[in-house]
Amino acid sequence: MAQRDPLREMHDTRLPCLTEMSVVALAAGAIALSGLLWFFILAVL
């Protein structure tokens, strides 16, 4: 069953850009979440 999947090939060509964007979004979200966490901790203490 080594038939080529055109949909998967198209997805593979688009994948690097999407993974890059998702990694950047995850990093930005993690930084924002940790910043908010520290802000709340400092505000409570």
Residue 21 belongs to a domain: yes
How large is the C-alpha radius of gyration of the chain? 19
CA atoms of 31 and 9, how far apart (whole Å): 34
Continuous H helices in 1-45: 6-44
Residue 24 belongs to a domain: yes
The percent of residues in the chain predicted with pLDDT above 70, rounded, is: 64
Write the pLDDT tens digit of every residue in 8-40: 666 666 666 778 889 999 999 999 999 999 999
Residue 1 belongs to a domain: no
CA atoms of 38 and 36, how far apart (whole Å): 5
Residue 25 belongs to a domain: yes
Residue 35 belongs to a domain: yes
Does residue 1 register a pLDDT over 80? no
Indicate the pTM of the whole model: 0.50
CA atoms of 16 and 31, how far apart (whole Å): 22
Q: What is the pLDDT of residue 15?
A: 64
- Number of domains making up the chain: 1
On the 0-12 / 13-18 / 19+ scale of CB atoms within 10 A, 16 is exposed
Domain containing 29: what range? Answer: 6-44
